């Protein structure tokens, strides 16, 4: 598909070079599109989403209730930090908001990385698609360290690396794949991260911004197990034992997510053209005015008071006694019956 796309683009370029009027018309359309996109972005007002008492962005607005959701984006290691930077730069939010974002630290090797909610690649590596992370900053150090940790964790489970929010091998009654966030235990504050092993190829492509060689090697491994489809890499490969077919160790989740494909294209562009999208984003004077916020240095010493995570709290015995999500019944005649009573709400036993 990439080869066909390249051929189509080359054909358009060839046609346009032979027709000067077509070149001028195309340039005018692109300039108009650029201005329209910028206008849409700057017309958005993020101030109504801020909870004034906490100086944090709510995760959303409940239209029917006409009120903000109680939960907030309260971590710096979050995809929402891109929104925070943009909103501060254009004057919708005070600079104080940036420093209200939490910065819990987890030790990786002899350095510290920011913790996120679910420990996913998306939370860490989506913003740097367009947002600069200066060398020596806490954000840049975190991005490099969490890739290293993701690779280590996958190696310990003998699977390809790259864990992020994605679809997984479970469907509803309409046969639609289910979707949730996945991550690496210890990187995320969310409990239960170790109960699933779902590898998302787009997470590897996001990591290509920082580790292109390792990313290419991992994509080759994913391709060897059937993760590459007609329109690119599928959304995920599920290695969770309770959800894979009998006789195999994985199940390919054969669907595509438009936003995952879009992020992948942007990440490849940054990897090949050395961060061109970041340069374009920061070339805007409004964004440039807020760049100082990104200069926050990485801590030299790891704080002694670290956040306790599920990996610290759960014992080996607790892990072993967990019941699986599914079961295999070899003799259905003698097996215990599972009964479900349905009623109109007035029937009781």
Tens digits of per-residue pLDDT, 171-226?
Answer: 988 889 999 999 999 999 998 899 999 999 999 999 999 999 999 999 999 999 99
Q: Is residue 256 part of a domain?
A: yes
Whether the per-residue pLDDT at 34 is higher than 60: the answer is yes
Please report which confidence band the pLDDT of residue 345 belongs to, taking 50, 70 and 90 as the band edges: low
Confidence of residue 298 (pLDDT cuts 50, 70, 90): confident
Give the strands of the sheet with 198-199, arranged side by side.
198-199, 236-238, 251-253
Judgement on whether residues 166 and 33 belong to the same structural domain of the protein: no
36 and 167: one domain? no
Q: Phi-psi region for residue 247, left (φ > 0), alpha (ψ -120 to 50) or beta?
A: left
Gap between the Cα atoms of 344 and 325, Å rounded:
28
Q: Exposure pattern of 176-187 as b/e (b: 16+ CB <10 Å)? A: ebeeebbbbbbb
347 in a domain, yes or no?
Answer: no
Asked if 201 and 233 touch (Cβ cutoff 8 Å), the reply is yes
- Chain segment 119-144, per-residue pLDDT in tens: 999 999 999 999 999 999 999 999 99
Query: Are residue 175 and residue 293 in the same domain, yes or no?
Result: yes
Whether 72 and 109 map to the same domain: the answer is no
Across the range 25-52, mean pLDDT stands at 92
Q: Looking at residue 339, what is its pLDDT? A: 67
Tell me which of 56, 86, 103 is where a domain ends.
103
User: How many domains are contained in the chain?
Assistant: 3
Q: Are 290 and 229 in contact (CB under 8 A)?
A: no
pLDDT at 316: 45
| 99 and 109 belong to one structural domain | no
User: Any idea which of 16-25, 95-104, 231-240 has the lowest mean pLDDT?
Assistant: 16-25
In a domain, 248, yes or no: yes
Phi, psi of 301 (to 5 degrees): -110, 140
- The answer to whether position 343 is within a domain reads no
Do the domain assignments include residue 91? Answer: yes
Say which CATH number the domain at 108 has.
1.50.10.140
Q: Is the pLDDT of residue 307 over 60?
A: no
Q: Tell whether 65 and 115 lie within a shared domain.
A: no
- Say if 335 falls within a structural domain: no
Query: Average pLDDT in the 279-297 region?
Result: 94
Contact predicate 150/142, CB 8 Å: no
Domain that holds residue 166: 104-315
Q: Are 183 and 195 in contact (CB under 8 A)?
A: no
Co-location of 188 and 58 in the same domain: no
Q: Do residues 120 and 192 both lie within one domain?
A: yes
- pLDDT band of residue 264 (cuts 50, 70, 90) is very high
Q: What is the mean pLDDT of residues 17-42?
A: 85
Banded model confidence at residue 322, pLDDT cuts 50, 70, 90: very low
Identify whether 147 is part of a domain.
yes
- 238 burial class (0-12, 13-18, 19+ CB within 10 angstroms)? buried
Percent of the chain with pLDDT strictly greater than 90? 68
Q: What are phi and psi of 126, to 5 degrees?
A: -70, -50
Q: Answer yes or no: do 209 and 260 share one domain.
A: yes
Tell me the per-residue pLDDT of 100-112, one tens digit each, with 9 for 90 and over.
Answer: 999 999 989 888 9
pLDDT of residue 224: 96
pLDDT recorded at residue 319: 44
Judge whether 310 lies within some domain: yes
- Token pair in block for residue 221: 């491994």
Q: Are residues 119 and 179 in the same domain?
A: yes
pLDDT above 60 (res 54):
yes
- The model's pTM is 0.81
Smallest CA-to-CA distance from 191 within 319, 77, 59 is with 319
Same domain for 35 and 132, yes or no, is no
pLDDT exceeds 70 at position 308: no
One domain for residues 28 and 71: no
The two structure tokens encoding residue 103: 């910065």
CA–CA separation, 211 vs 205, rounded Å? 9
CB proximity list for 55: less than 8 A, separation 6 or greater: 94, 96, 97, 100
Nearest of 122, 80, 120 to residue 97 by alpha carbon: 80
Res 318: pLDDT: 45
Lowest mean pLDDT among 242-251, 307-316, 326-335: 307-316
């Amino acid at each position: 598909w990439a080869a066909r796309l390249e051929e189509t683009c080359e054909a358009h370029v060839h046609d346009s070079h032979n027709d000067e009027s077509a070149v001028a018309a195309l340039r005018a359309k692109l300039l108009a599109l650029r201005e329209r996109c910028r206008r849409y972005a700057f017309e958005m007002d993020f101030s109504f989403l801020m909870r004034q008492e906490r100086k944090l962005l709510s995760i959303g607005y409940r239209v029917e209730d006409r009120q903000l959701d109680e939960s907030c984006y309260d971590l710096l290691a979050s995809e929402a930090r891109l929104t925070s930077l943009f909103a501060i730069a254009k004057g919708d939010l005070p600079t104080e908001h940036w420093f209200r974002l939490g910065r819990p630290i987890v030790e990786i090797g002899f350095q510290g990385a920011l913790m996120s909610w679910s420990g996913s690649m998306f939370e860490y590596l989506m913003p740097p698609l367009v947002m600069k992370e200066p060398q020596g900053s806490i954000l840049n150090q975190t991005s490099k360290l969490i890739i290293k940790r993701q690779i280590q964790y996958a190696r310990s489970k003998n699977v390809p690396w790259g864990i992020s929010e994605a679809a997984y091998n479970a469907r509803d009654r309409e046969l639609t794949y289910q979707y949730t966030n996945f991550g690496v235990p210890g990187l995320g504050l969310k409990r239960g991260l170790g109960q699933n092993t779902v590898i998302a190829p787009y997470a590897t492509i996001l990591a290509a911004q920082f580790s292109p060689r390792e990313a290419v090697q991992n994509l080759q491994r994913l391709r060897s197990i059937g993760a590459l489809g007609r329109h690119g890499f599928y959304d995920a490969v599920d290695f969770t034992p309770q959800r894979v077919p009998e006789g195999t160790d994985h199940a390919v989740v054969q669907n595509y997510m438009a936003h995952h494909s879009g992020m992948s294209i942007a990440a490849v562009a940054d990897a090949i053209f050395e961060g061109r999208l970041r340069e374009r984003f920061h070339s805007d004077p409004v964004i440039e005015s807020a760049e100082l916020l990104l200069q926050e240095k990485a801590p030299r010493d790891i704080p002694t008071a670290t956040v306790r995570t599920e990996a610290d709290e759960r014992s080996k015995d607790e892990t072993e006694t967990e019941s699986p999500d599914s079961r295999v019944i070899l003799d259905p005649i003698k097996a215990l019956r599972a009964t479900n009573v349905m009623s109109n709400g007035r029937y009781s036993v």
